[in-house]
Amino acid sequence: MTTTAQSESGQILPRAFYLDEDVVGRARQLLGKVLCTNFGKTKTSGMIVETEAYRGPDDKACHAYDYRRTARTEAIYAVGGTAYIYLCYGIHHLFNVVTGPEDVPHAILIRGIEPLEGIPEMLKRRGMQELSPRVTAGPGMLSSALGLHTSQTGSDLTQSDGEKRIWIEDRGIELRHKGIIASPRVGVQYAGECASWPWRFRLSGSKWTSKAK
DNA sequence: CACGGGATCGTCT
DNA sequence: GACGATCCCGTGT
């Protein structure tokens, strides 16, 4: 179970949060934080309810496995607190939070959020009439709802003034440890033994998480 | 609800 | 030229 996010403002997660080198731990700690966007008109946000950790150097499922470095994956090597957004299946813009110091290629895929603010705008972006888990329960869906796009890859998530467009807030939402379920990641069967690592985290009982394959 | 296939294109081989 | 860290819709039950 989780508490309900009541406050409509919170502390912007500082750089220090993102610098930690334990990407698996940070993936778990992102649950309950609030992912926010504002691209000029409306603030849209939602509480993070599902994440997956990707640990570049030794994780075959990560785009930066074995320090593979290409134009696409460059953002994963940026300092923690940077956005890594890439195009999946030619259609979906998947949003990741980069963690660790510069040149340590760790990232966390955000897979589900519970809508909080700007719900009419999110429905509009999704072409939907009513609020339901189909609006944000999945990495492609939530990126669409929040207006996230590959063109924003490399964005700084920690700016608190001026150019603030994508950021994460800590509203002090307390989660019960037992309410977090760890399980293997979705859609990474190509990754050999890494495919079974339990690096997917979700809130027990939340209807806003993606469906397991 | 389960399953199967199509969409759609950037990225890397 | 093959293939995705996915989603949607159609079909069948």
Residues A87-103 have pLDDT tens digits of 999 999 999 999 999 99
Assess whether A69 (CB) lies less than 7 A from strand B. Answer: no
Nucleotide nearest A86 (Cα, C1'): B10
Quote the pLDDT of residue A40. 86
Quote the pLDDT of residue A200. 96
Phi, then psi, of A191 in degrees rounded to 5: -90, 20
Assess whether A73 (CB) lies less than 7 A from strand B. Answer: yes
Using CA atoms, how far residue A99 sits from A23, A89, A207, in Å, is 7, 24, 27
Q: What share of chain A is helix, strand, coil (3-state, %, to 5)?
A: 25, 30, 45
Nucleotide nearest A153 (Cα, C1'): B10
Burial (0-12, 13-18, 19+ Cβ within 10 Å), A86: middle
Assess whether A91 (CB) lies less than 7 A from strand C. Answer: yes
Nucleotide nearest A63 (Cα, C1'): C5
Cross-strand partners of A46: A35, A115
Quote the pLDDT of residue A1. 42
Burial (0-12, 13-18, 19+ Cβ within 10 Å), A195: middle
Nucleotides of C under 7 A from a protein CB: 4-8
Quote the pLDDT of residue A8. 65
Whose CA is nearest the C1' atom of nucleotide C8? A134
- Whether pTM > 0.85 for this model: the answer is yes
Q: Which residue type, as a one-letter code, is found at position A189? A: Q
Nucleotide nearest A65 (Cα, C1'): C5
**What contacts A120, CB < 8 A, 6 or more positions away?**
none
Assess whether A190 (CB) lies less than 7 A from strand B. Answer: no
A 10 A CB-CB count for A40 gives: 6
Assess whether A86 (CB) lies less than 7 A from strand B. Answer: yes
Per-residue pLDDT of chain A (213 residues; tens, 9 = 90+): 444 444 567 899 999 999 999 999 999 999 999 999 999 889 999 999 999 999 999 999 999 999 999 999 999 999 999 999 999 999 999 999 999 999 999 999 999 999 999 999 999 999 999 999 999 999 999 999 999 999 999 999 998 777 779 999 999 988 876 699 999 999 888 888 999 999 999 999 899 999 876
Quote the pLDDT of residue A190. 85
